[in-house]
A and B are shown apart, each in its own frame.
Chain A
Amino acid sequence: MKNRDTRDLIGGIALIAIGVFAAIHARQYEFGELQRMGPGYFPTVLGIILAILGVLVAIPALFREGTSIKIEWHSLVWVMVSILVFAVLLNHLGMIFTSALAVIASSMASDIKWKARLILSGCIAVITYLIFSFGLGMVIPVWPWSY
Chain B
Amino acid sequence: METLDSLYIGLQAALQPNILLYCFFGVFLGTFIGVLPGIGPLAAISLLLPITYHIEPTAAIVMLAGVYYGAEYGGSTASILLNLPGTAANAVTCLDGHPMAKQGRAGVALFMTTIASLIGGMIGVFALILFSPSIVEIGLKFGPAEYFALMILGLISASTLASGSPAKGMAMVVFGLLLGTIGTDINSGVPRFDFGIAEMMDGISLVGLAMGLFGISEIINSITIKRDGKITEKITMRSMMPTKKDVQDSIKPMLRGSGIGGFFGALPGTGAAIASFISYAVEKKIAKDPTRFGKGAIEGITAPESANNAAAQTAFIPTLTLGIPGSATMAIMLGALIIHGIQPGPMLMSEQPTLFWGLIVSFFIGNIFLVILNIPLIGMWVSLLNIPYRILYPAILVFIMMGVYSVHNSSFDLYVVAIIGIIGYGMSLLRFEAAPLLLGFILGPLMEENLRRALLLSRGDMATFIDRPISMWLLIISGLILAWSFFGSFRSHLRKKTLAKEQAAAGNA
Contacts and interface: CB of A to CB of B under 8 A. Distances in A.
A68 B459 CA distance: 52
Contacts of B187: 37, 39
Nearest to B193: A25
Contacts of B239: none
Contacts, number: 178
* Interface range for B: 35 or more
Nearest to B426: A14
B177 interface: yes
B220 A76 contact: yes
Contacts of B451: 37, 42
A112 B398 contact: no
A53 B456 contact: no
A138 B179 CA distance: 30
A99 B398 contact: yes
Interface string B368-397: 000000000000000000000111011101
B401 A83 contact: yes
B220 A79 contact: yes
Contacts of B455: 34-35, 37
A88 B411 contact: yes
A22 interface: yes
Nearest to A107: B394
A113 B455 CA distance: 63
Interface stretch (B66-74, B163-171, B261-269, B298-306): B163-171
Contacts of A120: 391, 394
B246 interface: no
Interface string B213-228: 0001001110110000
B170 A102 contact: no
Interface in A78-127: 79-80, 82-84, 86-88, 90-91, 95, 99, 102-103, 106-107, 109-112, 120-121, 124, 127
Interface in A1-56: 7-8, 10-11, 15, 18-19, 22, 25-26, 29-30, 33-40, 42-43, 46-47, 49-50, 53-54, 56
A111 B389 CA distance: 11
Contacts of A33: 460
Nearest to A47: B178
The secondary structure that dominates the A interface is: helix
Contacts of A40: 192
Interface in B403-461: 405-406, 409, 411, 414-415, 417-418, 421-422, 425, 427, 429-432, 448, 451-452, 455-456, 459-461
A40 B393 CA distance: 42
A39 B185 contact: yes
Given A39-B188, A75-B220, A53 B174 contact: yes
Contacts of A128: 398-399, 402
Contact of B181 (A10, A42, A57, A87): A42
B51 A136 contact: yes
B410 to A, nearest CB: 9
Given A57-B167, A69-B429, A136-B54, A79 B460 contact: no
Q: Is the interface of B mostly helix, strand, loop or mixed?
A: helix
B234 interface: no
A141 to B, nearest CB: 11
Contacts of A140: 402, 405-406, 409
Contacts of B230: none
Given A30-B188, A35-B455, A82 B397 contact: yes
Contacts of B193: 22, 25-26, 43
B491 interface: no
A120 B388 CA distance: 12
Nearest to B176: A46
Contacts of A111: 390
B398 A46 contact: no
A127 B27 CA distance: 21
A79 B421 contact: yes
Given A8-B430, A80-B422, A50 B394 contact: no
Given A42-B451, A46-B178, A79-B219, A56 B398 contact: no
A10 B393 CA distance: 30
A68 B317 CA distance: 42
B181 A75 contact: no
Nearest to B395: A124
Interface of A: 7-8, 10-11, 15, 18-19, 22, 25-26, 29-30, 33-40, 42-43, 46-47, 49-50, 53-54, 56-57, 60, 64, 69, 71-72, 74-76, 79-80, 82-84, 86-88, 90-91, 95, 99, 102-103, 106-107, 109-112, 120-121, 124, 127-128, 131-132, 136-138, 140
Interface of B: 51, 54, 165, 167-168, 170-171, 174-175, 177-178, 181, 185, 187-188, 190, 192-193, 216, 219-221, 223-224, 389-391, 393-395, 397-399, 401-402, 405-406, 409, 411, 414-415, 417-418, 421-422, 425, 427, 429-432, 448, 451-452, 455-456, 459-462, 493
Given A36-B460, A75-B220, A86-B401, 9 more contacts: A11-B430, A15-B171, A18-B175, A34-B461, A69-B430, A103-B394, A106-B393, A106-B394, A124-B394
8 contacts: A11-B168, A33-B460, A53-B171, A80-B422, A83-B397, A86-B405, A87-B414, A109-B223
